[in-house]
Structure 1
Amino acid sequence: MTPENLSKQLAFIKEIDKLKYIQRRTKLFNSDRCENSAEHSWHLALMAIVLTEHANEKVDVLKVIKMVLIHDVVEIDAGDTFIYDTQKSHDNTDEERLAAQRIFGLLPEETAQELIAIWEEFEAGETAEAKFARAMDRLEPLLQNSSNNGGTWHEPGVTYDKVFSKKSVIKDGAADLWTYGESLINEGVQKGFLKKNTTD
């Protein structure tokens, strides 16, 4: 370990503290307080550990944990985009790639390249690990909204069709968790928290 490497590692550690200040739209379970992106990432990591048996395929759990812990680090520069935002795409953007290069680039080269590759793999959503990690990412706010009488489902323009479309990604990584998630969405419709139509 060289002093230069340690200096870079500590610079990265200090920089990612900023993720604690990035507010998300979803609120904590049974709460009025919005979750921040660092809390979200921590929660996904524990979910990945606890729910691994539900993955569609055998996954490298450590890699999944790395994915969910770093997937939103780019929000330090790019901010959090609401999944149902109609003005800005929630999908990977050039802005986020630039953020990944800058923030992970604070680290020693080998570590930086590893984390950038893991981040890119998550965004592509093609490997078993990425599919399961993305399932966790979509499941957590679904559970939160269900606990908060609909939560962000009440925001303008959010309908059953949009929620179903965005959340159905869960089935690609964990089909039985999607069965449960779909039941929560339908329950939200029955309780009047979610409108089952295609109009905004």
Structure 2
Amino acid sequence: MQVENLLKQVNFIKEIDKLKYIQRKTKLFNSDRCENDAEHSWHLAMMTIVLAEHSDKPIDVLKVVKMVLIHDIVEIDAGDTFIYDTTKNHTNTEEELIAAKRIFGLLPTEQAKEFIAIWEEFEEGITNEAKFAKSMDRFEPLLQNVSNNGGTWVEFNVPYQKVYDKKKAIKNGSTAIWNYAENLINESVEKGILKK
């Protein structure tokens, strides 16, 4: 049984290497290179550890770290949907659920169930952990866009209200981080890198 589990786990580890090839629209800090999903997930995990004290509610940090590391693995099959996409909705889709079952299903049964449950919890965004994980997921690209003189906001002509509406989810996990983020959004308008 242990050997069988190990073989399944190694197979999963090989499969998730594909996450490094999924390109996001957002660029690295002060860079013109697009971030990939694996870099994004790693950065969110580090942000969670560093910023956990700013959560409005008590959180299980390890669970949030698991969430942010797992949340985009489905994009290996489903692809990355740009948050400001006007043709495809950036919400949990049937396509992503199929991807979650296939990819996490490579793991031994109990681990597969745990990973799918963590992914679903993140997507639902109801628990304290999910709210904080989503705060991190919305905060990182905001910081990147500010560092790149508007980045994807300028590139895709995204208006202030759309940015504000997407980013206010940060407040669900952390009022302090949202206050900081809201200031950055408003400063971006003053600098002319975000159009009101």
Q: What range is the shorter-chain TM-score in?
A: over 0.9
Q: Is 1:11 the counterpart of 2:42 in the alignment?
A: no
Residues paired across the two proteins, number: 196
Unmatched tracts of structure 1, length 5 or more: none
Aligned runs of 1:21-40 on 2, under 5 Å?
21-40=21-40
C-alpha displacement at 1:155, in angstroms? 3.0
- C-alpha distance in 1, partners of 2:193/2:185? 9
**What SS class does the counterpart of residue 26 from structure 1 fall into?**
strand
Match for residue 137 of structure 2?
137
- C-alpha distance in 2, partners of 1:191/1:51? 27
**What SS class does the counterpart of residue 16 from structure 2 fall into?**
helix
**What SS class does the counterpart of residue 25 from structure 2 fall into?**
strand
- C-alpha distance in 1, partners of 2:129/2:156? 33
C-alpha displacement at 1:3, in angstroms? 1.3
**What SS class does the counterpart of residue 152 from structure 2 fall into?**
helix
Q: Is 1:99 the counterpart of 2:64 in the alignment?
A: no
Match for residue 171 of structure 2?
171
What is the RMSD computed on CA atoms of the aligned residues?
0.7
What do residues 68-125 of structure 1 show as CA deviations (whole Å, max 9, x unaligned)? 0000000000000000000101110000000000000000000000000000000000
Unmatched tracts of structure 2, length 5 or more: none
C-alpha displacement at 1:157, in angstroms? 4.6
TM-score (norm 2): 0.99
Match for residue 79 of structure 1?
79
Q: Is 1:193 the counterpart of 2:193 in the alignment?
A: yes
Counterpart amino acid of residue 38 in structure 1: A
- C-alpha distance in 2, partners of 1:65/1:32? 27
C-alpha displacement at 1:166, in angstroms? 0.3
**What SS class does the counterpart of residue 26 from structure 2 fall into?**
strand
What do residues 26-60 of structure 1 show as CA deviations (whole Å, max 9, x unaligned)? 11101111100000000000000000000010100
What do residues 114-158 of structure 1 show as CA deviations (whole Å, max 9, x unaligned)? 000000000000000000000000000000000000000113351
C-alpha displacement at 1:190, in angstroms? 0.7
